[in-house]
Amino acid sequence: MFENSLSRAKTTKLHCTELLVPEKLTRRIARDVLRLSSGEPCGLRGCILYVNLEVENMCKKLDRIIYDSSVVPTFELTLVFKQDGSVWPSLRDFFLIGACFTHGFRHAVKLSPGFRLIKRKLYSSSAGTVIEEY
């Protein structure tokens, strides 16, 4: 599901021709989403997952995933991908100028191996929010 979400966001939200995802990142995220869902009344079926990308200290909304629309959501997870800023600034600026690329599109966006998951229970006002950074 994450791969489909990122694939759709590539052209609709990120406006890039390539999205570079670190090896095993989606597998690590799936494992942590399942772990955070395991103690919930409906498990993963009761989850709404918001997918965001943090770019220069701002979050860009990419997608909203509902695992089972027949189940009333019991909790929300917000997944925040981080953009990898390791590209040399002068090289990045060259690509953003886009002289040889389609107008309005960046050539590539590279995701960092780090991410953040924020869990909020919808059925308990006293449960609080859980933030996990990886």
Q: How crowded is residue 84: how many other Cβ atoms within 10 Å of its Cβ?
A: 14
Per-residue pLDDT of the chain (134 residues; tens, 9 = 90+): 778 888 888 888 888 888 899 999 999 999 999 999 999 999 999 999 999 999 888 899 999 999 999 999 999 999 999 998 765 444 444 455 444 444 555 678 899 999 999 999 998 777 677 777 87
The answer to whether 59 and 80 have CB atoms below 8 angstroms apart is yes
Hey, what CATH topology would domain 2-133 get? Ribosomal Protein L22; Chain A (3.90.470)
Q: Which two tokens stand for residue 34?
A: 């399942």
- Element of type H or E holding 92: helix 89-97
Q: What beta strand segments (E) does the chain contain?
A: 16-20, 47-55, 58-66, 75-83, 106-121, 129-133
Name the residue with tokens 């399942």: 34
pTM: 0.79
| Burial zone of 4 (CB within 10 Å; 0-12 exposed, 13-18 middle, 19+ buried) | exposed
| Burial zone of 31 (CB within 10 Å; 0-12 exposed, 13-18 middle, 19+ buried) | exposed
